[in-house]
Amino acid sequence: MEFSHKSVLLWECIDALNIRPNGIYLDGTLGGGGHSLEICRRLTNGRLIGVDRDEVALEAAKKRLSRHARKVTLVHDNFENIALILDALNLDKIDGMLFDLGVSSPQLDDGSRGFSYMADAPLDMRMDQGSSLTAYEIVNNYPKDELRRILYEYGEERYAPQIAAAIERVRSRRRWNWWTSSNPPCPSGHCAKSSIRQSGAFRQSALPSTTSWARSAA
């Protein structure tokens, strides 16, 4: 699947960065490279450091920024490690940073990644596919109190206790394997979309799982 993504607030971000032609800039959520491309177009002797956890995104950005390759350093890492990244590049300061937080549309569109509840897909949700920790591991093995904490703190989910309790009840009988958009439920194991109905935490507009997991995805 092609990694195609429309950059959010592109021109507002470029204006706010006030890019200097010889400056050093860091895009901490590189994605498809839309913001970074406009930064590179404004650099002469400057440098762009593009960071992303998703190797699919890095490969797409590499192609998009190929005409500016001499200005670009791509890093497969989490932006939370910025200090270590800059140390490794022997940089003690930069001129600007950009972060576009959240899941990107290509990650949602690729059903196999497990970010979207609209497709029959494994409970994956890894931004870094080299990581061993998946949503399957969290849903099936994390203690109820830890699930509640994740949903409440990261998902801002007011029904976190009910949802965590529903997860614990269901997984005591069988493990959760899939998101599913099908009815009846998915053929391989149990699925989050059907099980979450037991929490009693419905909204008219959406299943609680669509809000909670979209906010908590990381």
**pLDDT at position 209 over 70:** no
Per-residue HEC secondary structure of the chain comes to CCCCCCCCCHHHHHHHHCCCCCCEEEECCCCCCHHHHHHHHCCCCCEEEEEECCHHHHHHHHHHCHHHHHHEEEEECCHHHHHHHHHHCCCCCCCEEECCCCCCHHHHHCHHHCCCCCCCEECCCCCCCCCCCCHHHHHHHCCHHHHHHHHHHCCCCCCHHHHHHHHHHHHCCCCEEEECCCCCCCCCCEEHHHHHHHHCCCCCCCCHHHHHHHHHCC
- What value does the mean pLDDT take over residues 209-217? 53
- What value does the mean pLDDT take over residues 102-112? 84
**pLDDT at position 211 over 60:** no
**pLDDT at position 127 over 60:** yes
Q: What are the tens digits of pLDDT across the range 57-101?
A: 999 999 999 999 999 999 999 999 999 999 999 999 999 999 998
At 198, the pLDDT band (50, 70, 90 cuts) reads low
Q: What is the pLDDT of residue 183?
A: 44
What are the C-alpha distances in Å from 45 to residues 21, 23, 125, 192?
6, 8, 38, 51
Question: pTM above the 0.85 mark?
Answer: no
81 CB neighbour count, 10 Å cutoff:
14
At 218, the pLDDT band (50, 70, 90 cuts) reads very low
Compute the mean pLDDT over every residue in the chain, rounded to the nearest whole number. Answer: 84
163, with CB counted inside 10 A (0-12, 13-18, 19+), is: buried
Sequence-ordered list of residues with C-beta below 8 angstroms from that of 57, at least 6 positions apart, any chain: 3, 30, 31, 32, 104, 106
- What value does the mean pLDDT take over residues 168-179? 76
- The strand pair at 72-76 and 96-98 is best described as unpaired
- What value does the mean pLDDT take over residues 182-195? 47
| More confident call, 175 vs 216 | 175
